[in-house]
């Protein structure tokens, strides 16, 4: 089994307003096809860790490997390309572009990647929407659909470039229990049937309990992995 | 790698989804450029008109015999007094002829000079216009009509009749409009003219001349060179003035010095005669540019403002774009291209607005005694100004878009996502 993501001795400080050691010596790795959740109380640094793992935050010490390559000292442009190609992101607050249709939103990262033709990308996007059972909403404006639907569109967008890992930042935190279950089941299926690797930050114990592995954090350290 | 199609699609969606804001921003540019084109067209048109007023009818070099006292008085010729301080009181001008000595060879020599565009001789004669028992003071100039038409736009000042009629009719006269009114005569009438030596010549009015300067029009009339020579009682070689037009006006001062020293004649160049004139033109141009640049700068600030606000509104979108793999440069391009598109659309409409404005001004009646042939306000449609206009629109929107776009490039998505 290959490691899709590995963190070695990651340290992170906030410098403002006073120096604060948020992440203390974080090391762990995620195997290909694993469904991992990071648990912990508010303020324990789990979101901060996720931003570092997602390559958006580069202000840390330690080493980060994505797809078994060291990416810690990559340039901002290289990291943007890595995010585009290898990481799918699902946020707590759906985060669709409001002026675009559902389909456009899903297609954007693939069009940015530019590896396929417009028509192929369109077919891919429609496939993903069909997979997530929101095919019928494809041509609506992103603002015209419900919260649960938006989150499924966001997942479809995360899948569009067939990333090596999907990361979620409280992806169910803003949803009712019914929609939460739907989103969880989608993640479950993606992991089991499509063999995607997933890393989800959550403080929902029920959600975490159903994942393959729980990394528990407290006070900037990993308590159990 | 940048996929420009995606960038442009995002740009287009952003602009179209807030068409009112984009429209207002573009209108700012449109108005600025439109005003620039209209103003500069009007100003240069007016400048051209005023230039023409002076430059077209003024010879670059005017050669004549000035009546003046001799510089060297007889006492200066005596060696006995050369070391002393001589005072001669009550000096009178020297008795000399008004005509230019050996004028015809001089003219043919000037015509051979490659700097010279054209040379035309004139004969000036003081006369009286006879109206019954009343004699009205006047001045008649004998001209070579074709040369005058060609070199000095003489035709612009003939309000009635055709100047060419003068060529056919040796007893014809182009009468000043002031005198024509005074004597209540018009085309086809005959008047009598008495020359300084007492001879009376009847002349037929073939046209009315109006220079725009009332004082001139009250005395000045034009006849054929030959007719004026008869009035003065001179032959074919009687010529009192020679007017020279050069290819390059700037050479006039140098050449007039050459002529006056070589031929012992007075030669006045246009620069000396109209020194104040150049200054007026350049100051008017300066004012036009200052006003236009102010307008465009204001439009630029409008775009800066709107894009700045847009970027604050779009913080979330920028964070998503960056999180899904768009680089800072992509985001900058998205906002820069919005600014430039606004500039391009606004600028192009501005050119059309400017053209329309120019066209409207061009239709407004503008009748002035000074310029008999001008019927509407003068306007220049010079493509050069349209190029300047569109370039300025693009440059100013580029600058106005650059700072906000740079800010968007720098936005840290983590800050935005964490802030939620």
Domain ranges of chain B: 4-55+277-419, 61-76+95-272
B10 touches B336 (CB < 8 A): no
d(CA B339, nearest CA chain A) in Å: 18
Say whether pLDDT at B420 is over 70.
Answer: no
> pLDDT tens for residues B112-164?
888 888 899 999 888 999 877 888 889 999 988 888 888 887 887 888 888 88
A49 touches A62 (CB < 8 A): no
Contact: A47, B418; criterion CB under 8 Å:
yes
Closest C-alpha among A137, A109, A141 to residue A124: A109
Contact: A95, B413; criterion CB under 8 Å:
no
For A161, name the nearest residue in chain B, comparing CA atoms only.
B324
Say whether pLDDT at B1 is over 60.
Answer: no
Out of B317, B329, B420, name the one closest to residue A93 (CB): B420
Q: Is A136 on the interface with B (CB under 8 A)?
A: no
Contact: A114, B1; criterion CB under 8 Å:
yes
Q: Considering only CB atoms, which chain B residues are within 8 Å of A143?
A: none
Average pLDDT for chain B: 84
Q: 0.90 cut: is pTM over it?
A: no
d(CA A86, nearest CA chain B) in Å: 9
Beta bridge partners of B241: B64, B122
d(CA B28, nearest CA chain A) in Å: 25
Q: Considering only CB atoms, which chain B residues are within 8 Å of A87?
A: 325
> Domains in chain A, start-ordered, CATH in brackets?
34-51+79-224 (3.40.50.300)
Contact: A112, B414; criterion CB under 8 Å:
no
**Per-residue model confidence (pLDDT) at position B371:** 66
Is the Cα torsion angle B382, B385, B389, B390 positive or negative in sign?
positive
Q: Is A169 on the interface with B (CB under 8 A)?
A: yes
Q: Considering only CB atoms, which chain B residues are within 8 Å of A56?
A: 322-323, 412-414, 417
**Per-residue model confidence (pLDDT) at position B372:** 64
How far apart are the C-alpha atoms of A200 and A204, rounded to whole Å? 11
| HEC assignment per residue over A178-191 | HHHHHHHHHHHHHH
Label residue B2 by pLDDT band (50, 70, 90): low
Residue tagged 């959550």 (tokens): A202
Contact: B320, A96; criterion CB under 8 Å:
yes
Angle between helix B328-363 and B19-51 (nearest 10) = 40
How far apart are the C-alpha atoms of B156 and A90, rounded to whole Å? 79
Helix or strand or coil: residue A33? coil
Total residue length of chain A: 225
For A169, name the nearest residue in chain B, comparing CA atoms only.
B417
Q: Which of A96-110, B204-218, B291-305 has the lowest mean pLDDT?
A: B291-305
Beta bridge partners of B242: B63, B121
Label residue B352 by pLDDT band (50, 70, 90): very high
Q: Which of residues 106-125 of A touch B (CB under 8 A)?
A: 108-109, 111-114
A116 touches A107 (CB < 8 A): no
For B2, name the nearest residue in chain A, comparing CA atoms only.
A112
Q: How far is CA A162 from CA A87, A88, A90, A165, in A?
A: 9, 8, 14, 9
Label residue B107 by pLDDT band (50, 70, 90): confident
Say whether pLDDT at B279 is over 80.
Answer: no
Beta bridge partners of B269: B61
> pLDDT tens for residues B223-273?
988 888 888 888 888 888 888 888 888 888 888 888 888 888 888 888 777
Say whether pLDDT at B52 is over 90.
Answer: no
Strand order in the sheet with A20-31: A20-31, A3-14, A61-66, A69-70
Label residue B387 by pLDDT band (50, 70, 90): very high
- Percentage of chain B modeled with pLDDT above 90: 4
Sequential DSSP letters for B280-340: HHHHHHHHHHHHHHHHHHHHHHHHHHHHHHHHHHTHHHHHHHHHTT--HHHHHHHHHHHHH
Contact: B327, A76; criterion CB under 8 Å:
yes
| Interface residue ranges in chain B relative to chain A, Cβ cutoff 8 Å | 1, 3, 5-6, 9-10, 13-14, 17, 316-317, 319-330, 412-414, 417-418, 420
Six token digits for residue B331: 């985001």
Q: Write the DSSP symbol of residue A203.
A: -
For B18, name the nearest residue in chain A, comparing CA atoms only.
A99
B61-64 and A69-70 beta bridge pairing = unpaired
Say whether pLDDT at B369 is over 70.
Answer: no
A88 touches A110 (CB < 8 A): no
Closest C-alpha among A93, A31, A52, A1 to residue A217: A52
Say whether pLDDT at B348 is over 90.
Answer: yes
For B3, name the nearest residue in chain A, comparing CA atoms only.
A112
**Per-residue model confidence (pLDDT) at position A107:** 92
Q: Considering only CB atoms, which chain A residues are within 8 Å of B418?
A: 47, 51
Contact: B324, A97; criterion CB under 8 Å:
no
Q: Is A142 on the interface with B (CB under 8 A)?
A: no
pLDDT by 10s per residue, chain A, length 225: 688 888 888 888 888 788 888 888 888 889 888 889 988 888 788 888 888 888 888 888 888 888 888 888 888 888 888 888 899 888 877 578 888 999 999 999 998 888 888 899 999 999 989 888 888 988 999 888 988 888 889 888 998 988 989 998 888 877 788 888 888 888 888 888 888 899 998 888 888 888 889 998 888 888 877
């Amino acid at each position: 089994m290959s490691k899709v993501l590995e963190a070695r001795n990651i340290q992170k400080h906030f410098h403002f307003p006073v120096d604060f050691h948020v992440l203390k010596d974080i090391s762990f790795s995620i195997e290909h096809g694993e469904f991992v959740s990071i648990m912990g109380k508010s303020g324990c640094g789990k979101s901060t860790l996720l931003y570092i793992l997602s390559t958006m935050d580069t202000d840390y010490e330690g080493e980060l490997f994505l797809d078994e390559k060291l990416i810690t000292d990559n340039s901002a442009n290289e990291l943007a390309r890595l995010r585009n190609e290898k990481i799918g992101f699902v946020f707590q607050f759906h985060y669709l572009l409001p002026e675009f249709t559902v389909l456009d939103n899903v297609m954007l990262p693939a069009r940015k990647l530019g590896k396929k033709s417009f028509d192929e990308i369109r077919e891919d996007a429609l496939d993903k929407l069909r997979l997530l059972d929101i095919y019928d909403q494809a041509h609506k404006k992103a603002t015209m659909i419900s919260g649960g639907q938006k989150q499924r569109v966001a997942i479809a967008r995360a899948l569009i470039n067939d990333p090596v890992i999907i990361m979620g930042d409280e992806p169910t935190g803003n949803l009712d229990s019914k929609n939460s279950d739907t989103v969880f089941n989608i993640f479950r299926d993606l992991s089991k049937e499509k063999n995607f690797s997933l890393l989800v930050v959550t403080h929902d114990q029920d959600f975490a309990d159903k994942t393959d592995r729980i990394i528990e954090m407290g006070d900037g350290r990993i308590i159990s992995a | 790698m940048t996929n420009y199609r995606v960038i442009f699609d995002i740009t287009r969606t952003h602009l179209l989804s807030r068409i009112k804001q984009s429209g207002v921003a573009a209108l700012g540019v449109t108005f600025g450029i439109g005003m620039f084109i209209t103003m500069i067209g009007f100003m240069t048109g007016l400048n051209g008109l005023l230039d023409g007023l002076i430059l077209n009818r003024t010879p670059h070099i005017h050669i004549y015999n000035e009546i003046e006292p001799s510089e060297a008085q007889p006492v200066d010729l005596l060696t006995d007094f050369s070391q002393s301080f001589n005072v001669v009181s009550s000096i009178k001008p020297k008795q000399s002829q008004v005509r230019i000595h050996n004028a015809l060879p001089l003219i043919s020599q000037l015509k051979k000079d490659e700097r010279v565009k054209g040379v035309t001789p004139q004969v000036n004669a003081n006369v009286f216009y006879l109206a019954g028992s009343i004699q009205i003071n006047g001045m008649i100039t004998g001209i070579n009509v074709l040369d005058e038409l060609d070199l000095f736009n003489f035709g612009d000042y003939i309000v009635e009749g055709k100047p060419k009629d003068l060529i056919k009719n040796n007893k014809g006269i182009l009468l000043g409009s002031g005198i024509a009114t005074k004597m209540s005569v018009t085309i086809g009438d005959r008047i009598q003219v008495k020359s300084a030596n007492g001879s009376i010549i009847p002349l037929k009015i073939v046209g009315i001349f109006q220079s725009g300067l009332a004082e001139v029009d009250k005395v000045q009339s034009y006849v054929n060179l030959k007719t004026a020579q008869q009035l003065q009682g001179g032959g074919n070689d009687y010529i009192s003035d020679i007017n020279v037009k050069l290819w390059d006006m700037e050479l006039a001062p140098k050449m007039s010095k050459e002529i006056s020293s070589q031929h012992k004649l007075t030669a006045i160049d246009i620069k000396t005669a109209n020194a104040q004139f150049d200054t007026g033109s350049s100051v008017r141009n300066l004012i036009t540019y200052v006003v236009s640049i102010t307008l465009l700068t204001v439009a630029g600030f409008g775009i800066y403002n709107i894009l700045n606000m847009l970027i604050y509104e779009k913080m979330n979108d920028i964070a998503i774009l960056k999180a899904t793999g768009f680089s800072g440069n992509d985001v900058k391009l998205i906002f820069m291209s919005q600014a430039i598109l606004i500039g391009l659309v606004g600028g192009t409409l501005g050119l059309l607005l400017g053209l329309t404005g120019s066209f409207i001004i061009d239709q407004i009646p503008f009748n002035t005694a000074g310029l008999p042939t001008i019927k509407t306000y003068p306007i220049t449609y010079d493509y050069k100004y349209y190029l300047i206009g569109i370039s300025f629109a693009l440059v100013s929107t580029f600058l106005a878009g650059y700072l906000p776009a740079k800010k968007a490039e720098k936005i840290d998505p983590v800050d935005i996502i964490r802030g939620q």
